[in-house]
Homo-oligomer: A and B are copies of this chain.
Amino acid sequence: MISKLVNAIKEKNAPIVVGLDPQLKFIPQQILDKWYKELGYTLDAVAEAFFEFNKGIIDSTYELIPAVKPQVAMYEQYGIPGIIAYKKTIDYAHEKGLVVIGDIKRGDIGSTSESYAIGHIGSVTIGENNIKPFDEDIVTVNPYLGSDGVNPFIDVCNKEDKGIFVLVKTSNPSSGEFQDREIDGRPLYEIVAEKVVEWGNTSMDGDYSNVGAVVGATYPEMGVILRKLMPKTYILVPGYGAQGASGKDLKGYFNEDGLGAIVNSSRGIIAAYKNEKYSRFGDEGFAEAARTATVDMINDIRENCF
């Protein structure tokens, strides 16, 4: 799978991913009103509004980008209708030829991790039928439970040509509480990074591994260290834009081949029309604003990282 993502990044010349993380406050009022009128003040109305919004963003950006990353929490917040909108978003992104990174941060033990892996990137066999329940291409995984929790995902990656990104150093302010604590003189995130390399060696796909890592854009000095520690690991970089990082912080996340990292922006793209810089587009132009913000982000990274 990672080679498919790498090819898409090269083809679009854009190492970025758009985070489809809808929140009520990001959805233009005319879309909400339309669905409230049709379905009342219900979970179903919000779910339909989320999907219509996502479709608008995807339609206006898919030619520019290799991948989207829906954050399942935003959908799960609205219960089963929300999760239906998550699944419809995955399917619609696939129709448009995009790689779908499900930001699910799952992680459990043994057969439980296996269930998550099968449900999201694998397939279940029921009688004579083989069904892919969610069908993301890549998902994010939490490593706290160790190899027992991660290996079932890798088994599915190898069987079905899929990928994972394992949390190594997250972008949030308190990520250091545990991740930065020193073990034998080295921070925990480096210990996790070494495990990612070890796990990754069991699922190589071209020059890179199907086992990638999440390293936040908000810690560029750690990005440089982790880049060197995990030379064949693709890095998913959250934290660009709304969380404070910009292109000049990101050079160190890339390898010399210009590959090795894919940078996510969520709010900065999908809610661009709420930003003064793009306010000329108005509510009705939310998708156009997202497209323009995407072009600006790609240019920022091209200019500062290569």
Contacts and interface: CB of A to CB of B under 8 A. Distances in A.
Interface of A: 21, 23-24, 36, 40-43, 45-46, 71, 73-74, 76-80, 82-84, 87, 105-113, 115-116, 118-120, 124, 126-129, 131, 133-134, 142-149, 167, 170-179, 181-184, 188, 191-192, 195
A145 B116 contact: no
Contact of A192 (B41, B178, B184): B178
Contact of A178 (B40, B109, B144, B170): B144
Contacts of A40: 127, 129
A108 B73 contact: yes
Contacts of A73: 106, 108, 112-113, 115-116, 119
17 contacts: A36-B127, A40-B127, A41-B126, A41-B127, A45-B126, A73-B119, A76-B120, A77-B118, A77-B133, A79-B133, A79-B134, A105-B142, A109-B171, A145-B172, A148-B173, A182-B183, A188-B188
Given A21-B112, A107-B105, A116-B73, A131 B175 contact: no
Contacts of A175: 109, 145-146, 148
Residue from A23, A127, A174, A176 whose CB has the most chain B CB atoms within 10 Å = A174
Of all A-B residue pairs in the complex, the 7 with the closest CB atoms, nearest first, are: A79-B133, A41-B127, A146-B174, A146-B177, A109-B172, A77-B119, A77-B115
Contacts of A119: 73, 76-79, 82
B78 A147 contact: no
A145 B74 CA distance: 18
A83 B133 CA distance: 11
B142 A107 contact: yes
A146 B189 CA distance: 13
A285 to B, nearest CB: 24
A144 B82 CA distance: 26
Contact of A105 (B74, B79, B106): B106
A117 to B, nearest CB: 9
B177 A147 contact: yes
Given A105-B107, A146-B172, 12 more contacts: A43-B126, A73-B113, A74-B112, A74-B115, A77-B115, A78-B119, A105-B142, A144-B144, A146-B176, A148-B175, A178-B192, A188-B188
A144 B84 CA distance: 28
A131 to B, nearest CB: 6
B172 A77 contact: no
A134 B191 CA distance: 36
Contacts of A78: 119, 124, 133
